Amino acid sequence: MSAGRFPLTALRAEETRRRLEAFLAEMGAPAYRARQILAWVYDRGARSFEEMRDLPRELRAALAERFAVHSLRRERETPAGDEACKHLFLTREGYPVESVGIPVPGGATYCLSVASGCPVGCGFCASGAFFHRFLAPGEILDQYLLMKAAGGRTPAPSGIVLMGMGEPLLNWRGTRGFLAAIGADCAVGARRITVSTVGVPGRLEALGREFPQVKLAVSLHAAEDSVRAALIPAAARMPIAALMAACRAYAELTHGRRITFEYVLLAGVNDGPRAAAALAALLKGLPAAVNLIPYNPVAGAAFARPAEAAVAAFAAALRARFTGAVTLRRSLGGAANAACGQLGSEPARSRGARRRGGV
C-alpha cells in the first residue's frame, strides 16, 4: 500500500461509507457509488479499484490516488499438497504476515494472524522467534477478505480461528475491532470464530463479556507452572492457578460455554503418564475439552515429536481420568511450513524485528 492512501478496510464499513460519500461529493459523483465500492471489497473480492469495472474510469483513477482497497499486500500462496494452503501477506512496511486455509468438510477454516511474529516467545513455535508489531483490525480482516477472494487453492470459509502469528488477547484493540467487523460487515456468526490465547490477565473475562458467543481455546501445554513457564516465557506473568480462575470466570460469564485446552505434545517434556494425570486433575470441574497436538518440527527448536505410541498412550491415560472430549489434531500444512507452530519459519525477519517476552 502506498504511503498516505487510506485503506478502505481500516474502519468499520459504515464509517468507510460515510468517508467515501464525502469524497464522492467532492468529485461530483453520486453517493450510491460508495455502496457499490464496498460491495466490491466485501462481497466481490476486489483487490484494486481497476477491477471495479462498473465505476467510471476517471473515478477509479481518483479513488486510487486517495484510497487503498486493502492495507495488506498478498505476496504469494504456498500449497502444502494436502489441500492446506499458506498465504503470505506483507504490511505497508514489508513485515511478513502468514495465514492458512485448512480444508474441512464443506469448506475451509481460515487461520488468521494478529501480528507479524509474536511477543510471547514460545520455544516450540516459529512465530515466537521474532516480533515486528501487532496488526490493526483492518489488517486482520484483510487476511480473511484476501483469502476468500483468492479462491482456487483455499475454499470458501466455514470457520475462522485467531490461531496464527501473535497473541490475540495481547493485541486486544486489533482482536476486538476484528471481531466486531467480521460480524457486522461480513455477516460471519460469532459461533464460527475461535480465539486462541495463552492467557492474559483480565482479557479472558473481557472476551467473555463482550463476545460471549465466540469460542475460546487456551494454549496450556503443561499442568505445572515450572514446565509451562519454560515452554511459554510469558506464562510467568499468569500462573496456572490464576489462569484457571480466569477460565472459571469466563465459563460463568458465558453460561458454561465449553473451553478447548490446546496441548502440544513434546517428546520427553510433557507427554508422560504423570503429565496426563496432572492435566486431568487441573481441568476437573470445568466445561472443557482437550485438543492434543503432536509437535510439528521447527528449525532450530530443541524439541522432538513424540512417537505415535507415546501420543496414543497419553491420550488413553487422559481419557481414563478426564470426562470431557479428547481429540487429536490432524496435522496439515507441514510441507509448506504451515502446520501448527510453524508460521513465520520462512519469511525474512529483518526490518527491525526483535525478540520480546513478557505479557
Which residues are known catalytic residues? 98, 340
Q: Which pairing describes strands 157-162 and 131-134: parallel, antiparallel, or unpaired?
A: unpaired
Q: What does the DSSP assignment read for 318-329? A: HHHH--S-EEEP
Q: Is 186 exposed, middle or buried (0-12, 13-18, 19+ CB in 10 A)?
A: middle
Q: Please state the φ and ψ torsions of residue 343, each to the nearest 5 degrees.
A: -65, 135
CA-based nearest residue to 90, from 350, 359, 358: 350
SS3 335: helix
Q: Cα–Cα distances in Å, from 300 out to 68, 188, 223, 227? A: 38, 38, 25, 20
What is the C-alpha to C-alpha distance for residues 52 and 66, in angstroms, rounded to an integer?
A: 16
Nearest C-alpha neighbor of 190 from the set 166, 208, 163, 169: 208
